[in-house]
Structure 1
Amino acid sequence: MKVQRGRSMLVAEKGDRMRLLRRVERGSGRLPDPSLMAFRAATVLGVVVPVYGLLRLLTGLFHWILPARMLSAVPELLSEVHNTHAIASGLFLFFLGLRLLRRQRFSYYASLMVLAASAVSGVIIGVTPWFWGSGFAVFCSLVPLRSAFTRRAKVAPTPGQVVGVVAVMLALGYGVVGAYLLRDQFTNLNTWGDALYFAITTLTTLGYGDIIPLTGSATAKFFAVSLVVVGISSFLTAMSLVVVPFLESQTKEVMQAMDRFRKRALRDHIIVCFYTQVGQSVAGQLVADRQEFLVVEPGEVIAETLQAEGIRVLQGDPTDEHTLLKASIGQARAVVACSDRDADNALIALIANDVKTSGLNPRLRIVARIEQEEGIRKLESAGADYVVSPSTLGGRMMGKYAAGESKEDVMRESSD
């Protein structure tokens, strides 16, 4: 049967991978790109990067949590570190590191950029050598492992997120170039490094006061004020377009993981395939009868809407037997095929019949919808226990009403 063949192929594939790894361990073979050594190193760094980011975040928070008398006793490692610098870089590295465990290419390059930027800015700002040096060490460890990160992110950056990043970069560029061009009107501002330092401290609204406009320089004062306004605006834009959607996607993944866990516990439930108008009516009746059911729907928007309404839903193609196995068809009481296309319903009936006849779930009840009445026999031969044509039944009922039959007689005949 199809389900049994699918399981045997998965077992065989898993066995092949295990045998390949054993040959590599014995030195009698080589793992294709990425190599086993790079694969293991990438796994280790996938753990190291989020832990390192979390440590940076906590280090920066020490300055806000600990009282001043305790900070005076904290070692140089904590007391001299730039708290905002540590919090920002640590937060990004923590979330990017979680995705490194999934071998995502985008997270790999983004982590390199954050590590490089934090190391360079750390040198310019003047944080402790250990702090920027540790980031540089992690950066150097990641560089040779590019081949191990080959997976594409499920969700590509949106235009809004690109705009948010570009806004921050343009604001930083405006601050650096403007400060350097007006260096004669500022104290202690002579080089491009000084301009970068002034731009970062001003954009983050820190302002140590070591670089200030000269007395009587209206142009420098106006530039400093405009830089603060540009910095706050770009930061809020980046937060709304980049950080917030990123956190929402992380929350969504956690909710999906919890939902998958709940689906594993499903037993004696009814699987409703395709949330069409007929599927919606079936689900409404099951809710009224207080029956436990799961909707399998390929549309992402519809699936998210159902999930928001508290209806159990699995996003996936119901005509794929792997999707139905994820829906716990082996423990289901019934499968209801509600697609608008007869071909989809026939395929669902075939898959469900394979599950039923293979012994995986011999008591499974198969209910299928059909629009073309002449195809009822074909669906029954495909394994459907009950075949219903909503349009045919509806048309007959309307004809009987038009002929003058009472509602009670029509409902009685329909139930018969």
Structure 2
Amino acid sequence: MWQQLKLYRLFWATGLVVTSLLTGVAAYMLLERYTLLEAFYMTVITVSTVGFQEVHPLSPEGRLFTSIYLLLNLAIIAYTVSVITTYLFEGELRTIWKTYMNEREIQRYSGHVIVCGFGRNGQKATRDLLASQEQIVVIETNVDLLAGKHLISNSLHYLTGDATEDELLERAGVRQAKALITTLPKDADNVFVTLTARGLNPSLQIIARASEKTTEQKLIRAGANYVVMPDEIGGSHMASLITQPEVIHFLELLNGTGPNKMHLEEVHLNRLQRDLEGLSIRELDVRNRTGATLIGLNRNGSEFLVSPDADICLQADDVLILLGTSPQISMFQQLFKEEEG
């Protein structure tokens, strides 16, 4: 919408000039009986104020019209010049072109993540998703907030506007997206976005932020898969620093930086070598072969096994949960990932 308003200024200025020219031609043909060519010539020299000689001496009516017409066109030309100057020298054309290419790129997205709201929670979610090589589309009303962040790059595309509008969610590719995160400041807006997005894409995974405990059930009824309450999580984290400090230090290691940073990685068995199906965890020998640790197993999306027994055999659609450093996870992928061919 913001970019459309900018274009409207250019279209409005162009329309004023064209309307003025047509009015002048028509008036001179009616008042002075000029031919079309003569009327156009008289209109152009009047609008441009060059002061060339009139085609024929003007009648009193013609002089009155020319005087008023000239004064009006001084204002029209001044407005048009200011608009064109803004577009040429303040970079608005470049901004509009960049926005146009940005939206064309979004239209080609599929399986991406939409983040509604670019406040503190939205920025953190976006940063982590970019680090995981996800395709992101951010929706934010505050243009300055978007433009001022270093996250805006070729990896991140954004739209400016109200995320509660159906049309904006459509432009963000909600029908083709795999997930949506809504972190808008008002709980009511998050409920509305969730309800709208669920109606547009029934299979979409929706994670919603809530400030009030009473909003949680409303978001779930509206279609949210998960509801996150940052204030409640923050309070629990502070309490755990007193009661379970080493556990928190371990979790911070998972979210840290540097070569020793640990990762939790989920690996779908159907993306690995086919001959792994039927092998036991003991036969897989992940720890000795890669250094990573198999800490969990999700079976058919219904049963979650923590620290699974070594004699459990792998089945189709199993999801392995691995803990390890980046090199260890990469080694697992090299050893067990199915070769593309």
* TM-score (ref. length: structure 1): 0.43
CA–CA distance in 2 between the matches of 1:278 and 1:125?
A: 65
2:85 is aligned to: 244
CA–CA distance in 1 between the matches of 2:244 and 2:225?
A: 33
Change (3 A) 1:308 1:404: closer
List per-residue Cα deviations over 1:267-317 (Å, max 9, x = no partner): 110000011110010111111111111001122323444699323101121
- The within-5 A match list for 1:325-364 is 325-357=170-202, 362=203, 364=204
Shift of 1:393: 0.7
List per-residue Cα deviations over 1:49-81 (Å, max 9, x = no partner): xxxxxxxxxxxxxxxxxxxxxxxxxxxxxxxxx
2:169 is aligned to: 324
CA–CA distance in 2 between the matches of 1:378 and 1:316?
A: 24
SS in 2 for 1:312: strand
More strand by share: 2
List per-residue Cα deviations over 1:324-361 (Å, max 9, x = no partner): 1111001101000111211111111111221233xxxx
Letter in 1 for 2:45: A
1:383 is aligned to: 223
CA–CA distance in 1 between the matches of 2:149 and 2:114?
A: 14
- The within-5 A match list for 1:176-195 is none
1:119 is aligned to: 45
CA–CA distance in 1 between the matches of 2:119 and 2:53?
A: 62
List per-residue Cα deviations over 1:175-232 (Å, max 9, x = no partner): xxxxxxxxxxxxxxxxxxxxxxxxxxxxxxxxxxxxxxxxxxxxxxxxxxxxxxxxxx
CA–CA distance in 1 between the matches of 2:168 and 2:95?
A: 20
Please, which moves more after superposition, 325-334 or 297-306? 297-306
Letter in 2 for 1:260: E
CA–CA distance in 2 between the matches of 1:308 and 1:401?
A: 31
SS in 2 for 1:252: helix
Q: Contact between 2:159 and 2:172, CA under 8 Å: does it hold in 1?
A: yes
Alignment gaps of 5+ in structure 2: 1-6, 25-42, 56-68, 70-74, 256-263, 265-305, 307-341
- The within-5 A match list for 1:18-97 is none
Alignment partner of 1:398 is 2:243? no
SS in 2 for 1:331: coil
2:121 is aligned to: 278
SS in 1 for 2:167: helix
Letter in 2 for 1:399: A
**Equivalent residue in structure 2 for 1:372, among 205, 208, 212:** 212
CA–CA distance in 2 between the matches of 1:340 and 1:402?
A: 30
Change (3 A) 1:259 1:265: same
Identity among equivalent positions (%) equals: 23
Change (3 A) 1:122 1:393: closer
Q: Contact between 1:297 and 1:317, CA under 8 Å: does it hold in 2?
A: yes
Shift of 1:243: 4.3
CA–CA distance in 1 between the matches of 2:214 and 2:207?
A: 17
RMSD (Å) for aligned C-alpha atoms: 3.9
SS in 1 for 2:201: helix
